[in-house]
């Protein structure tokens, strides 16, 4: 079972540095070089930034070559990564994580958890980013012999996976109260991290091994839609 995860826009300034590189460095650098050609005055619109982030993102790209690399699963600081708690993993679990989990990303394409990444800002809403990566991502997973792919990411990322080549299972967490059921974004992010931690801790290698209950959410499976539902 191959697991895909999503990156975040927040970074951990205390993350450990590494010399590990990502697998599509040449493609990444070609994207960076194109971004470096963009006038700073256009960064706000191009990246959908607030005014106070323009200088930061501009510097990400114009200092890209000299910036340090940080271990990906330690560097990302969004809700899913905080819930996963990478720093509590021992070496054996880190190896399992690195062998089975892949972050799908608009700048790096595919990131393994122990790969080194540099600070950046990019997502798949940017023009042409999906077309750049779609074939590379699917060909990579084919070369690894992937069959079952479990998506612990939003559809923005899972949409790049070719369902004609892989069994794609998508996970959602649904909260129900007084017969009204919703997918609450922050809870989904947190629970994806919790579920991934469970999978890593128990070294689950097949969809059938997913927990029936996790933190009050009960598993239901319809075709390849995996829903965890919690009533409050």
Per-residue pLDDT of 77-98, as tens digits, reads 999 999 999 999 999 999 999 9
In this prediction, residue 198 carries a pLDDT of: 99
Q: 137: closest CA among 159, 116, 113?
A: 159
In this prediction, residue 16 carries a pLDDT of: 97
Beta pairing class for 225-231 and 217-222: antiparallel
pLDDT band of residue 232 (cuts 50, 70, 90) is confident
CA separation for the pair 163, 12 (Å, rounded): 34
The alpha carbon dihedral of 196, 198, 200, 205 has a sign of negative
Q: Is 149 exposed, middle or buried (0-12, 13-18, 19+ CB in 10 A)?
A: buried
Q: Write the CB contacts of 40 (distance below 8 Å, at least 6 apart in sequence).
A: 54, 58
Check pLDDT > 70 for residue 163: yes
Query: What would the mean pLDDT of 125-153 be, rounded to a whole number?
Result: 92
Q: Write the CB contacts of 139 (distance below 8 Å, at least 6 apart in sequence).
A: none
In this prediction, residue 127 carries a pLDDT of: 61
Instruction: Count how many domains the chain has.
Output: 1
For 184, the domain range is 2-231
**pLDDT, averaged across the chain:** 96
Query: What would the mean pLDDT of 119-127 be, rounded to a whole number?
Result: 85
In this prediction, residue 124 carries a pLDDT of: 86
Q: 64: closest CA among 7, 120, 115, 116?
A: 120
Whole-prediction pTM: 0.95
Return the SS3 of 206: coil
Q: Is 111 exposed, middle or buried (0-12, 13-18, 19+ CB in 10 A)?
A: buried
DSSP structure class, residue 82: H
């Amino acid at each position: 079972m191959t697991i895909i995860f999503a990156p975040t826009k927040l970074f951990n300034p205390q993350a450990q540095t590494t010399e590990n590189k990502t697998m599509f460095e040449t493609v990444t650098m070609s994207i960076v070089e194109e971004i470096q050609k963009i006038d700073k005055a256009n960064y706000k619109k191009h990246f959908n930034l607030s005014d106070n982030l323009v200088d930061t993102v501009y510097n990400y790209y114009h200092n890209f070559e000299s910036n340090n690399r940080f271990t990906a699963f330690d560097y990302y600081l969004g809700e899913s990564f905080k819930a996963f708690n990478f720093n509590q993993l021992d070496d054996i679990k880190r190896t399992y994580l690195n062998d089975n989990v892949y972050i799908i990303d608009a700048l790096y394409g595919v990131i393994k958890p122990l790969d080194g990444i540099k600070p950046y800002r990019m997502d798949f809403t940017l023009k042409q980013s999906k077309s750049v990566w779609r074939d590379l991502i699917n060909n990579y997973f084919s070369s690894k012999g992937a069959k079952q792919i479990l998506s612990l990411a939003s559809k923005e990322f899972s949409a790049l996976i070719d369902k004609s080549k892989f069994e794609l299972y998508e996970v959602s967490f649904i909260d129900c109260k007084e017969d009204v059921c919703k997918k609450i974004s922050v809870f989904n992010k947190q629970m994806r991290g919790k579920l991934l931690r469970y999978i890593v801790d128990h070294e689950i290698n097949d969809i059938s091994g997913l927990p029936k209950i996790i933190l009050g959410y009960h598993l239901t499976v319809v075709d390849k839609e995996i829903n965890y539902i919690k009533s409050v």
